[in-house]
Amino acid sequence: MDIDLITNILYAMIMTGTPLLLVALGEMVCEKSGVLNLGQEGMMLMGAVAGFIAMYHTDSYILGFVFAMLVGVAMSLLFAVIALQLNANQVAAGLALTIFGTGLSAFLGNDYEGKQISILPSLAIAELQHIPIIGKAIFAQNAIVYLSWALIVVVYLFFRYHRQGLSVRAVGEDPSVASNLGLPVMLIRYLSVAFGGAMAGLAGAYLSIAYTPMWTEGMVSGKGWIALTLVVFASWRIERIILGAYLFGFASIMHLVAQGLNWDISSNLLAMMPYIATLVVLVMLSRDKQRLKLFEPMALGKPWHRSS
């Protein structure tokens, strides 16, 4: 295995892991407030198609990403109204969001299949990108990758040091108590869900603008679901998402590794890798049920309605 291959694998691993990192970060914030949104896949698809369409018509990366995030937020609010306001089962509402997003994105993107846009260029830092092995992976990525790192830091600091971060955790542990103490439970949950939507929209647009760049029906292919596992994998700790996302990024680029090493394995079997990796990780994490419960926000997924 030569240096070039390792360099390229590291680079591709981070590039592939970035959308997972973004969605998982958004979903983690959402889950910290006690809301389980299984609609990530649907929101990502909508983000992907929205970003692609905006980019195709305006040729502006910023508009593409911003539009995708807005669409992601709109989708998440749809979920929030049903799951929080109308008190529907969160699992069912999340599934509905995914089904709806899958259908709507396929419909909206119908005319855009096979269309071309220019890929988001990488922002290489001239001097540093040639550092052996890690240079390309860290210093020759595109703007969204850098943004994802910034977001991780910001969210980490928010939960660590900001009092509102404490409020989010409190609401996720016991909304009734939080409400008794006068915290605006609904507002906090709405904002957390919306942040999750924005991140999913951004991650979707990353796929259709910065990663492939094109739109195909169902192109997210399970990344939204994998991100949900990632949150569990990170045991609801922000810093651990990074590790998890890039690990899954690596599992997703097994075909590159196989190519580089001249393995002769069916590409369909290699395409199973991220899903199998997810199952393996789930098994390892779930062995100790009690330990898992230790980190999970206590009110996660439970409907709550202020009684007054």
Partner 1 sequence: MSNVKRLAMLGITKEYPGCKANDEVFLDIEHGEIHALLGENGAGKSTLMKMLYGVVKPDSGSIIWNGKPVSIDQPSVARGLGIGMVFQHFSLFETLTVSENIALVLGDQAGNSKTLADRIKTTSERYGMPLDPDRRISSLSTGERQRVEIVRCLLLNLQLLILDEPTSVLTPQEVDNLFKTLRQLTKEGCSVLFISHKLHEVTELCDSATILRAGKVTGHCNPKEETSESIARMMVGEDIAISNDCRRSLGTDVFANIENLSTTSTGQFDVALKNINLQVKRGEIVGIAGIAGNGQEELLKALSGEDIHPNSKSITFAGTVIDQLTPLQRRRLGLAFVPEDRLGRGAVPDLDLCDNALLTSFDSGLVKNGFLRKSKIVELADKIIKKYKVKTAGNHDAAASLSGGNLQKFIVGREIDQEPNFLLMSHPTWGVDIGAQVAIHDAILQLRDRGCAILIVSEDLDELYKISDRLGAICDGQISQFLAPEVLPLVKLGQWMAGDFDTTTADNKGVSQHD
Partner 2 sequence: MIKLVPRAQASAKWGYLSPILAVFLTLIASTILFMALGKDPVEALYTFFISPIVNWYGITELLVVAIPILLCAYGLALCYRASIWNIGAEGQLLTGAVVGTVMALQFVDSSSAWAMPLTLIAGMVGGMICSGISAFLNLRLNCNETLVTIMMNYIALNTLLWAVYGPLKDPNGYNFPESALFGDSTLLPILFEGTRLHVGLLLVVLALVVTWVFMSKTFLGFQIKVLGLDKPAAHMAGYKQKKLAAMVFLVSGALAGLAGAVIVTGSTGQLIPAISPGYGYSAIIVAFLGRLHPVGITLAGLLIALLFMGGEMSQMILNLPRSISGILQGLILFFLLSCDVLIRYRIAFTFKRSGLTATAKN
Q: Would you tell me which residues interact with partner 1 (CB under 8 A)? A: 163, 166-167, 169-170, 173-174, 177-183, 290, 293-294, 298, 307-308
> Would you call 138 helix, strand, or coil by DSSP?
helix
- CA proximity to 56, closest of 115, 121, 122: 115
Cα three-residue angle 282-291-152, rounded to 5 degrees: 70
Q: Tokens in use for 246? A: 């890039």
Give the closest residue to 72 by CA, choosing from 187, 154, 195. 195
Task: Compare residues 101 and 297 and give the one whose CB is closer to partner 2.
Answer: 101
- Choose one: 15-23, 206-214, 226-234, 245-253; the region binding partner 2 (CB under 8 A): 226-234
CB of 291 to partner 2, least distance (A): 11
Closer to partner 1 by Cβ: residue 58 or 87: 87
CB 106 within 8 A of CB 121: no
The SS3 assignment for 287 reads coil
Instruction: Rule CB under 8 A: choose which of 19, 26, 72, 101 binds partner 2.
Output: 101
When CB distances are held under 5 to 8 angstroms depending on the partner's kind, the choice from partner 1, partner 2, none that residue 179 binds is: partner 1
In the complex with partner 1, which residue's Cβ is closer, 255 or 305?
Answer: 305
How far apart CA 12 and CA 16 sit, in angstroms, is 6
Q: How far is the CB of 182 from partner 1 (least distance, A)?
A: 3
Task: Determine if 263 is a binding residue for partner 2 (CB under 8 A).
Answer: no
Q: Are 220 and 207 in contact (CB under 8 A)?
A: yes
CB of 179 to partner 1, least distance (A): 7
Residue 225 binds what, of partner 2, partner 1, none (CB under 5 to 8 Å, by partner type)?
partner 2
Q: Least separation, in Å, of the C-beta of 236 and partner 1? A: 10
Binding mask 114-153 for partner 2 (x = CB under 8 A): ----------------------------------------
Which single residue is written with the structure tokens 């100790």?
288
Nearer to partner 1, 97 or 185 (CB): 185
Residues that contact partner 2, how many (by CB under 8 A): 47
- Residues 60/50, Cβ–Cβ less than 8 Å: no
Can you give the C-alpha Rg of the chain in angstroms? 19
User: Is 78 a binder of partner 2 (CB under 8 A)?
Assistant: yes
Q: Return the one option of partner 2, partner 1, none that residue 228 interacts with (CB less than 5 to 8 A, by type).
A: partner 2
Distance CA 68, CA 55 (A): 10
Structure tokens at 258: 């196989």
If we measure between CA atoms, which residue out of 155, 151, 146, 147 comes closest to residue 31? 155
With CB under 8 A as the contact rule, the residue among 60, 103, 128, 263 that binds partner 2 is: 103
Question: In terms of CB distance, is 86 or 177 closer to partner 1?
Answer: 177
The pair of three-digit structure tokens given for residue 105, joined into one six-digit string? 């994105």
